[in-house]
Amino acid sequence: MLDLRNGSLGPWRADFNGSGCVVWDKSDQAIDWILNMARVCSMMGLILGCIFTFFAFFKQCLCPLPCGQLIMDISGIGVQISLALVWPMIRSNVCQTLGCSWGGGATALLLAQIFFFAASIFSRCMREPRYERRKERRDEHKEEEQAKKEPVEEPVEEPVEADAEEGHAAKVY
């Protein structure tokens, strides 16, 4: 996520000497609560994003799940909060010591936040699920075929005259 003078740093991987990405072991460098928070929040964002995607897929393609929209709203907000709490990582002790700048991972984090924000908003206004649209088309098709089979009878109108005294219409036989 962050570029160092001699490498890169992320919540899960670090490259301090430019020798390639190695797994970030908390005991190797400074134990920092901001870095630990970034790790936890990135995992929470991943889990909540998977929950959001699962419920959105079921709502749109298969069948709506109980409390689906509420769970999608909560997980969408949770993703935004979790991903936002990864940003303070630039103020960790490791970055203060080694000097960090924004890297390619920061761009990916920003794009993930933007796309999940848009998905959260648009999940509120999705069109009807596929199975409902197919059912409506089937019903319309049946109605059209029944209308073709049955002759159309036009209603016969009865003559009507206005009743001048009371202002009501009166039937004339």
Q: What is the pLDDT of residues 22-58, one digit of tens each?
A: 555 555 555 678 888 888 888 899 999 999 988 888 8
* pLDDT: which is higher, 4 or 95: 95
| Average pLDDT value for residue range 64-93 | 86
Amino acid 7: pLDDT: 59
- The rounded distance, in Å, linking the Cα atoms of 16 and 32 is 16
- The rounded distance, in Å, linking the Cα atoms of 147 and 168 is 37
* Contact (Cβ atoms closer than 8 angstroms) between residue 48 and residue 117: no
* Contact (Cβ atoms closer than 8 angstroms) between residue 116 and residue 83: yes
Residue with tokens 């490259």: 15
Amino acid 152: pLDDT: 56
Beta-ladder partners of 6: none
HSE of 160, CA atoms in CB hemisphere, 13 A: 8
> Could you tell me the pLDDT band of residue 148, with boundaries at 50, 70 and 90?
confident
Residue 173 CA to its chain's centroid (Å):
66
Percentage of the residues of the chain whose pLDDT score is greater than 70? 66
- The rounded distance, in Å, linking the Cα atoms of 129 and 59 is 7
